[in-house]
Structures are given as structure tokens and as C-alpha cells.
């Protein structure tokens, strides 16, 4: 039936209203029903919110939960140094279909106000649909920004903000994706760029390589059994920072687009530049990178020598000066972007392999917002693991790789043993006991 602003309002039966009341009073009692869950391969939907115009977010593919009916009165935020990742649930808008969707959005952390405005819109919409008591909606927050922006969240949203441990949330989120969601986890090869892995229950042990602004490498031995075994400061923030200096690009996505159009051979020194061919004895192709940016110094020196032959930097002859400067090599920003992307990705891939060898871990999962489904990044990480392991290990990727922490925080609001395969165990905070468990 029509409601405010001409929107369709959903009529809830009495049992649904009782569910709403119970959810508002005891939000930890809601059990997410993931039976039949699947990724929606279409343009992400946008449930109506009071905000107008561009919300400043990047909307990623959603997960349909066709069998979940209960109200969910919380959202989850993972606020990192570069990006804030938001996960929330909504029922199908203006539809008689049962179930709903998990939504996945990214905001730049520098524009955290846009993110909080969006969450405020969700809160207002939830209140409009479910009654004034829905003001009890809470925020599950993780990442460094959960502490940095804690006061801002409480002041702007006026709701409960529960801060969760970042590493805990990463592992819970990854376990959920591996075990519960079909067509989520995949491997890469030139012949099959997206080979999907079926959901599985026997997942431990494994190595998680989480690539955000920096890189953390986490050995996971079981539920809530993990330790950070290494990492590197050369991560997504490194690529973003250097390329902003070298190319003037304003966003990370702009940098990735430039890398797609680049040719790293214009700035990198390749094996073929040294040997003139493949170095078969040690298994190196002529196209393998021997030195990242290795051609730059040589080409600049050649240009400087040519400038000296034309009178150098003498100010007595400006015309000759201009001719000399024109002989300086011009490096395309696209080529620089591709070279630096390869340098950072290859470094992460090799360190990940060494950690997997040291700790005897066969399965290596790559997560974090650095990847963003970018083919060149995935290809480079896969190649590094395959090359150094001589084909004995694989790199595993996820379609929602940037949302491990926010999904983990979202799930920590749930009671014990929800879902199909017991994705995680009960946490120290007291939880009501679930009365039934969905099975596949």
C-alpha cells in the first residue's frame, strides 16, 4: 500500500510484527538464514533512503538470501586507512518475494562523513518501515577507524556502537565466504580466469593474506585459532601514494585503469633485456621482470648524455636547450602504473609463498581492498604463488575480498551455530541459544 513519498509500504502479518518487536528488544537473537544463498550477478540495487543524489559509495555485487525473513537491526562497518566498507541487510524492496539481500558498499575513509550520512539514511528508513523503536539499531564496527571515528559515529548516529577485534572479524568473514556462499571463492589461470571452488567445510589450516593499506599475513588453524605471522608495509597504500605522486591520479580505481593501458616493459628491465632471450636454465622467460623500473636510470642517463652533446643546460642558447630537453625520455603514466602494480603485487606474492612454506600451509587466500577484482593484480599474485611453489600451491581469491572484516563484524551479532555449516562458534559476549539450525 502507498505510504509517505508515494513509496510502497510492506504489510507485515502479526507473526512478522512479533519478530520485529523481538529483534528490537533482543537484536542478538536474530538468526540469518543462508539456505539457498547466491551472489546476484546484476547491477546492485539501491533500497530507497532519505538521501538524494550521489551517495559517494561504490556499490558491489549483492548476496541474495531468499529464505531469510526476520528483521535485522544492525549494520557493520570496517573502517581502514583508505576505505570504509559497509555491510547491511534489506528485504526485497517493493516486492512480495520472501527474503532479502546483503549489500556491500565502499567509501573513501577521507570522506567518512558520506558513509555516516548513508548509515543515518538506513537508520531513518528502518525506523520508517518498522516503527519508532527501531532507533535501537546498532553499529558493529571494526578496523582502526572503529576507534578513530568512534565518537563521531555515536554523535552523528546516536546509536550503540560495538567495536570488534579486526583479526577476529577477518577470519569470521573469510570462513563464512568459504563455507557458505557458492561461486564466491575462485582460482585464476590464463585458460580459466575464474574457476569457482565449491563451498567446503574442511578449510583449516590456511594462510590469509589481507592486503589493505599495508599487508597482514595470518595463519588460521581452526575456529578462533589464528596468529599474525608476518606482513609488509608495502601494500595498497604504497601503490596509491606513489602513483598519486608520479601520475597525479586522484583515485585508486583511476590508477588501476591506467595500469590496464600500460606496458611495464617501457620502464622495467626484463630478463630478455639482459640475456636477449629466455633464461631456461633457471626457468625465467624473457618477459620476466629482472628489475622493476630498471630501465629508467639507463634511459635518463642516455638522455642526459645527449643533452650534454647538445650543450647541456647552458643558458646561452635557449634554442639548443629546448632541443636537448626534447631528447629526455618521456615515461607514460600508464607504463609507470603498470610497473608499480607489478612490483607491489610480486613482492606480496613472494612473501606469502615464503610464509606458507615456513608454516606448512597449502591453501593461500588473498583478501583486502587492494585486489578489487582487478585481473592484472590477480594474475600477478597467482603467477607468483605458482612460480615459487613450482605449481604445488594455488592462490585463492574472493569476489567480495574487500569485505571480510565488515562481514565478520556483521556476523558477530548472531547467536551460536547459525547457518548451514556452523560458520563460527559462540563468542564470549553472552548470546541467546538458537532454537533451530538451517541445513542445506
Q: pLDDT-derived band of residue 329, with 50, 70 and 90 as boundaries?
A: low
Answer yes or no: are the C-beta atoms of 238 and 371 closer than 8 Å. no
Which grid cell is 267?
620502464
The CB density around residue 155, as the number of other CB atoms within 10 Å, is 10
Answer yes or no: are the C-beta atoms of 180 and 199 closer than 8 Å. yes
DSSP H helical ranges for 248-293: 252-260, 271-275
Closest CA to 412 of 438, 436, 430: 430
Tell me how far apart the alpha carbons of residues 103 and 47 are, in angstroms, rounded to a whole number.
Answer: 10
240 versus 46: the higher-pLDDT residue is 240
Q: Given this model, what pLDDT does residue 194 score?
A: 94
The CB density around residue 434, as the number of other CB atoms within 10 Å, is 16
Q: Given this model, what pLDDT does residue 129 score?
A: 75
Question: Mean pLDDT throughout 405-420?
Answer: 70
Model pLDDT for residues 289-312, shown as the tens digit of each residue: 889 899 998 777 766 666 555 554
Answer yes or no: are the C-beta atoms of 368 and 347 closer than 8 Å. no
Average pLDDT score over the chain? 80
Q: Given this model, what pLDDT does residue 310 score?
A: 56
Please state whether the peptide bond connecting residue 137 to the residue before it is cis, i.e. omega within 30 degrees of 0. Answer: no
For residue 27, is pLDDT > 90? no
Question: Which 8-state DSSP code applies to residue 284?
Answer: B
Q: How many residues does the chain have?
A: 440
Model pLDDT for residues 189-244, shown as the tens digit of each residue: 989 999 999 999 999 999 999 998 899 999 999 988 999 999 999 999 899 899 99
Tell me how far apart the alpha carbons of residues 187 and 394 are, in angstroms, rounded to a whole number.
Answer: 7
Please give the model's pTM, rounded to 2 decimal places. Answer: 0.79
Question: Mean pLDDT throughout 411-424?
Answer: 53
Question: Mean pLDDT throughout 166-183?
Answer: 94
Answer yes or no: are the C-beta atoms of 324 and 318 closer than 8 Å. no
Answer yes or no: are the C-beta atoms of 63 and 45 closer than 8 Å. no
Strands 363-367 and 206-211: parallel
Closest CA to 414 of 21, 124, 95, 30: 30
Q: Which residues contact 312 (CB under 8 A, 6 or more apart)?
A: 324
Model pLDDT for residues 342-395, shown as the tens digit of each residue: 999 999 999 999 999 999 999 999 999 889 889 989 999 999 999 999 999 999
Which grid cell is 322?
629546448
State the maximum Cα–Cα separation within the chain, in Å, rounded to a whole number. Answer: 91
12 SS3 class: coil
Percent of the chain residues topping a pLDDT of 90: 49
Which grid cell is 410?
556483521
Q: Given this model, what pLDDT does residue 318 score?
A: 44
Tell me how far apart the alpha carbons of residues 362 and 138 are, in angstroms, rounded to a whole number.
Answer: 39
Q: Given this model, what pLDDT does residue 53 score?
A: 45
Q: Which residues contact 227 (CB under 8 A, 6 or more apart)?
A: 218, 219
Tell me how far apart the alpha carbons of residues 11 and 8 are, in angstroms, rounded to a whole number.
Answer: 9
Q: Given this model, what pLDDT does residue 251 score?
A: 83
Question: Mean pLDDT throughout 234-261?
Answer: 90
Q: Given this model, what pLDDT does residue 380 score?
A: 93
Q: Given this model, what pLDDT does residue 437 score?
A: 30
Amino acid at each position: 500500500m502507498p505510504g509517505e513519498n508515494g513509496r510502497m509500504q510492506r504489510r507485515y502479518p502479526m507473526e512478522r510484527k512479533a519478530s520485529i518487536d523481538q529483534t528490537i528488544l533482543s537484536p542478538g537473537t536474530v538468526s540469518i538464514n543462508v539456505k539457498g544463498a547466491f551472489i546476484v550477478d546484476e547491477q546492485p540495487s539501491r533500497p530507497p533512503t532519505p538521501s538524494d543524489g550521489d551517495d559517494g559509495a561504490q556499490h558491489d555485487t549483492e548476496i541474495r538470501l531468499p529464505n531469510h525473513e526476520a528483521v535485522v537491526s544492525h549494520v557493520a562497518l570496517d573502517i581502514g586507512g583508505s576505505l570504509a566498507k559497509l555491510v547491511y541487510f534489506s528485504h526485497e524492496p517493493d516486492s512480495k518475494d520472501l527474503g532479502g539481500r546483503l549489500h556491500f558498499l565502499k567509501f573513501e575513509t577521507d570522506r567518512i562523513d558520506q558513509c555516516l550520512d548513508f548509515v543515518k539514511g538506513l537508520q531513518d528508513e528502518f525506523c520508517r518501515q518498522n516503527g519508532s523503536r527501531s532507533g535501537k539499531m546498532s553499529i558493529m564496527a571494526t578496523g582502526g577507524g572503529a576507534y578513530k571515528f568512534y565518537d563521531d559515529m555515536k554523535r552523528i548516529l546516536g546509536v550503540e556502537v560495538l567495536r570488534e577485534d579486526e583479526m577476529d572479524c577477518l577470519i569470521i568473514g573469510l570462513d563464512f565466504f568459504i563455507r557458505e556462499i557458492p561461486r564466491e571463492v575462485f582460482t585464476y589461470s590464463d585458460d580459466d580466469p575464474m574457476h569457482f571452488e565449491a563451498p567446503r567445510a574442511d578449510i583449516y589450516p590456511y594462510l590469509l593474506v589481507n592486503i589493505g593499506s599495508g599487508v597482514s599475513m595470518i595463519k588460521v588453524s581452526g575456529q578462533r585459532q589464528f596468529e599474525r605471522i608476518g606482513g609488509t608495509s608495502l601494500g595498497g597504500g604504497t601503490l596509491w601514494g606513489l602513483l598519486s605522486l608520479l601520475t597525479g591520479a586522484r583515485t585508486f580505481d583511476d590508477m588501476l585503469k591506467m595500469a590496464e593501458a600500460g606496458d611495464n616493459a617501457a620502464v622495467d628491465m626484463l630478463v630478455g633485456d639482459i640475456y636477449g632471450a629466455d633464461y631456461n636454465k633457471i626457468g625465467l622467460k624473457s618477459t620476466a621482470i629482472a628489475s622493476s623500473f630498471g630501465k629508467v636510470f639507463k634511459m635518463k642517463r642516455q638522455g642526459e648524455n645527449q643533452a650534454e652533446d647538445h650543450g647541456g643546460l647552458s643558458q646561452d642558447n635557449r634554442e639548443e636547450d629546448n632541443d636537448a630537453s626534447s631528447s629526455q625520455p618521456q615515461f607514460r603514466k600508464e607504463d609507470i602504473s603498470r610497473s608499480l602494480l607489478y612490483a607491489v603485487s610480486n613482492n606480496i606474492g613472494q612473501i606469502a609463498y615464503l610464509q606458507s612454506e615456513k608454516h606448512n600451509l597449502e591453501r593461500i587466500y588473498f583478501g583486502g581492498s587492494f585486489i578489487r577484482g582487478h585481473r592484472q593484480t590477480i594474475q600477478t599474485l597467482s603467477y607468483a604463488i605458482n612460480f615459487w611453489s613450482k605449481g604445488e600451491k594455488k592462490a585463492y581469491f574472493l569476489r567480495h575480498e574487500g569485505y571480510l572484516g565488515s562481514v565478520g563484524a556483521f556476523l558477530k551479532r548472531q547467536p551460536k551455530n547459525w547457518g548451514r555449516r556452523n560458520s563460527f562458534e559462540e563468542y564470549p559476549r553472552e548470546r541467546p541459544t538458537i532454537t533451530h539450525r538451517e541445513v542445506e
